[in-house]
Structure 1
Amino acid sequence: RMGLDQKRAAWRAVLDGLGGIAIFFALGCALIIFITFVIPADGVPLLDLAQLFANLRSAPGDYIWLMITLFSTLLPTLVHLSIAALTMALQYPAWWRNFVAGLLENGAQSRQAALFSGICICAMITVALWSPIWFFAFVITHDHGATFNTVLWIFETFAWAIGGI
């Protein structure tokens, strides 16, 4: 809301989206740190990270549990990106913002304007909430594993850097 008041919606939306992505990677790195440094009393590591990364590349279907964990971590990131999209939809383009604001102002005098403004706002919220999910699904289904391999490479490099591999 501060971004709308100060006319800096784009900057706030970008920061929110980047914050969600940073949280995703922070949680993934926290999981790697936990697996690396928490050793049970019997001395056997929780997981062999080198083997885990190798198996993720060769047989990702065997690690559905990890995919579910990563997806549950990705949900807050998608919410952040949805909030960023909604912020942008409320601010840009100016003609749309002014049109909806005019409908809201006329809503007190006209039931038709009130109904139409409600429909417009609901449509904006729906598109804003679903657009990051649609975009994510499109990228994942059309990039032939490039995004998955990049994320895997980032996490594997981090595990190597802290001595987990």
Structure 2
Amino acid sequence: MSDSSKLTHLNAAGQPAMVDVGAKTATRRVARARSRVVLGAEILALVQDGDLPTRKGPVFQTAILAGIMGAKRTSELIPLCHPLGLDDCQVRIEVQAPDAVLIECTASVTGKTGVEMEALTGASVAALTIYDMCKALSHNIVIQETRLLSKTGGKQDFHHAD
């Protein structure tokens, strides 16, 4: 195994460790992640004007806010993530007929470490929020395919080929 393919969150003794980014140069870093939520055709049919109104509030708008909040708090949820002051975080929800929605979270920072985990967390928290707000209608909702779509600005760029 080459040095570049070793796990970065383990120290020489094999114990968990935060990656030391002190010597890295700050660069503009952007990551984009996606989650897919299968709501079912019946729930999706209730979508009106691009959102689903509920007693708890508009589902998609609430999920967008939750996704942004989740991205901002990633280091509190994932133990070895560095706390980052995000430059920007955008969450977009798109209906994917006949039965699902796609959530995309794009996070950016000018810093010494990437924002992949922030983008993934934002997409995941938005998906969980949609589940929470729609579960009264069905427990057959499935959250699937949470994945990194792209990242730029670090040692190596990544772009998922659809």
Band of TM-score, shorter chain? under 0.3
Larger Rg: 1
Q: What is the TM-score with the length of structure 1 in the denominator?
A: 0.27
- Structure whose residues are more often helix by fraction: 1
